[in-house]
Chains A and B, each alone.
Chain A
């Protein structure tokens, strides 16, 4: 019994298992932050790896991971797509102008419906979606170089260089 309790101590209750692992990305169709751009659709996330990053200009820890996202935006092996959650366009634009825009495309989710479909409990949260549209990894909280090297890089290597 003591053993069970010790396991409990080492388990972070804030990290919840995702119901999405190994499952297809839930369908969504979100208006782009830049109205001139086409909608961001889950269906379009096939044929290559996608890093789907839920963020908001109000989100403090998003600032923490932002420099890493800027670096990752130069990586050609995947597409970095953002979902701007519960935000205003003015604040989001301002945030990207100040910190740089790492995203290839950004969808907005004002009502939080898509974000709930993804089972997101807080921003930032990142999903690694493979070329078949299957969710391979969920990272709640800010991405770090450690998480990148340990959990994400191996997934990309699996796939080999994307065309």
Chain B
């Protein structure tokens, strides 16, 4: 039984993410390659939208991966590589949109919703009369 549970756990948690990076694309310098991988996994594949360019086997994603590596080899910092792609495709390619004027609503709305909910909960709960013992339903059952 333990073995079966263990096998199921393995299946659930040991699934390797499918990466589309071909060996031929990889940089020989492992530090640079690691940077390329981390940058690529923050860039959206524009053809498939819910995949990163690191995960996608689309031609356009591959072209973008090559550009990321080219910029790294050319000496760009991670931020500069991101900027290079953002300059062409806009913030849209970033899987984590930056906090700025046009994304303020996106970032702040969840907090606003939380504060609103807490305020409503507080107002509602505070206004409710405290139940006294005699009204408890259990008393009715006890008869």
Contact = CB atoms under 8 A, between A and B. Distances in A.
Interface of A: 1, 4, 13-14, 16-19, 86, 111-113, 116-119, 121-122
B131 to A, nearest CB: 33
Contacts of B72: none
* Contact count band on B: 10 to 19
A9 B20 CA distance: 32
Interface of B: 46-47, 49, 59-60, 63-64, 67, 86-90, 92, 105, 109, 112-113
B69 to A, nearest CB: 14
A113 B105 CA distance: 34
B105 A121 contact: no
A120 to B, nearest CB: 8
Contacts of B113: 1
Contact of A116 (B47, B67, B109): B67
A111 B105 contact: no
A1 B109 contact: yes
A59 to B, nearest CB: 12
A144 B46 CA distance: 23
Nearest to A58: B59
B88 A119 contact: yes
A16 B89 CA distance: 8
19 contacts: A4-B109, A14-B49, A16-B92, A17-B92, A19-B89, A112-B60, A112-B63, A113-B63, A116-B63, A116-B64, A116-B67, A118-B88, A119-B88, A119-B89, A119-B90, A121-B47, A121-B60, A122-B46, A122-B47
Nearest to A14: B49
Q: Which 5 A-B pairs have the closest CB atoms?
A: A121-B46, A112-B63, A119-B88, A16-B92, A19-B90
